[in-house]
Amino acid sequence: MDFTFTEEQQAAAEAARGVFAGVAPDGVPSPALVPGAVAEDIDRPLWSRLASGDLLSLTLSPEHGGAGLDPVALCLVLRESARVLARVPLLETCAVATALQRYGEPSLAAELLPRVGRGELVLTVGANGRSGHEPAERAVTARPETAAGTTALTTPPAEAGAGDARTGGTDAGWVLDGTQTAVPWAQAADWIAVPAHTPEGRTVIALISSDQDGVTLAEQVSTNGERLAEVRLESVRVTGRALMDRPGAWAWLRALLTTGTCALALGLGEAVLAMTSEYTGKREQFGFPVATFQSVAVQAADRYIDLRAMEATLWQAAWRISTGADGTLPAEGDIAVAKIWASDGIRRVVQTAQHLHGGFGADTDYPLHRFHAWAKQIELSLGPAAAHEEALGELLASHLLG
């Protein structure tokens, strides 16, 4: 394994630092002070800057207007976004777009992906099932329907125009029923990727829009104050063109989402540790900075070790996804290890930061409490550490280690 980043990957990280440089973590009301969401929409000006910096098309191929980079580059950008608590569905949009490129119908990819890269379309995904504690693909059923009773993949009304596949469509369609909870920014998304299972037990991914017949969004709010939605599907019809049904599509998409979440945890944790270092270096007791006290230094050192472990396991997982390299265990094992470290590590980092800041850390005029709320959201997203420990145990039990 060589974790040295390529020039292109380093350039992507540098571009991301430039785009996120002007973003303030406290640019919206504190989630501790508002009863609902901190904002009604994503940060649209930031979304436009990401598009202008070619960061939304980072993992798309040149034929779709992208740079053709790998998930490692995406994780580098996500790491930077978490340092400033960027309120954009960067992970969801890039992950779904990349999955569509790999597993989707080519003409649909050619139609949608250039617009994603230009920032014209926002994508999200339902990855939490009905309760957040079950396989997401089991929460929705997809049954085939004859072409006569099917409507084509539709473009939202505001986006409809020449060349759109809003009507027509003669291929056999599918009917979706079920519920996905805690879908990030579903209200702001143009397309929602929904995993579902067929009568034969296959897993497919359907692209739907929130204004389709049979789609209902129920308002939810995350721990960090961002808008979520419970997406309810009742006899929602899509065509085969809107379905990613190649084997491995959902497993790959979920792997990328999980690994990207680990990158968010790393970036957030690094920002929190830097904040703590600055504070303890200035805060004095008994005439000395508290950073010089042994108990403070030991706690900070422990959290630094957590971050380095989070980093090493993240790049191992991202490398496995990017290269498809073989290992003693499938890539899912490395992803599980990365998420275990991300979930446990980020919790310890923010808890120690709160402790070393004292009462100042809970002051709503100081940004640390915002990072704590985001950390809790990231810790539980796509499964807490315990869920991934169970998955890792099952992998170890089913694979003989030489």
Counting residues of the chain whose pLDDT is more than 70, the rounded percentage is 92
**The pair of three-digit structure tokens given for residue 362, joined into one six-digit string:** 């809970």
pLDDT tens digits for range 280-323:
888 878 888 888 789 989 999 999 999 999 999 999 999 999 99
pLDDT tens digits for range 180-193:
999 999 999 999 99
Does the pLDDT value for residue 164 go beyond 70? no
Counting residues of the chain whose pLDDT is more than 90, the rounded percentage is 83
Taking the C-alpha atoms of residue 311 and residue 270, their distance in angstroms, rounded to an integer, is 10
Q: Average the pLDDT over 143-170 and give the result.
A: 47
Strands (E) located in 27-139: 123-125
Q: What is the pLDDT of residue 400?
A: 75
The amino acid at 355:
H
Cα 15-310-386 angle, rounded to 5 deg: 130
What's the mean pLDDT when you consider all of the chain?
A: 91
Q: What is the pLDDT of residue 155?
A: 43
Does the pLDDT value for residue 250 go beyond 70? yes
Nearest to residue 242, comparing CAs of 344, 126, 111? 111
pTM confidence score: 0.93
Say what angle helices 90-103 and 106-117 make with each other, to 10 degrees.
150
Q: List, as one string, the DSSP characters of 291-325.
A: GGSHHHHHHHHHHHHHHHHHHHHHHHHHHHHHH--
Taking the C-alpha atoms of residue 195 and residue 257, their distance in angstroms, rounded to an integer, is 13
Q: What is the pLDDT of residue 3?
A: 66
Residue 174 CB neighbour total at 10 angstroms:
23
Q: Average the pLDDT over 216-233 and give the result.
A: 97
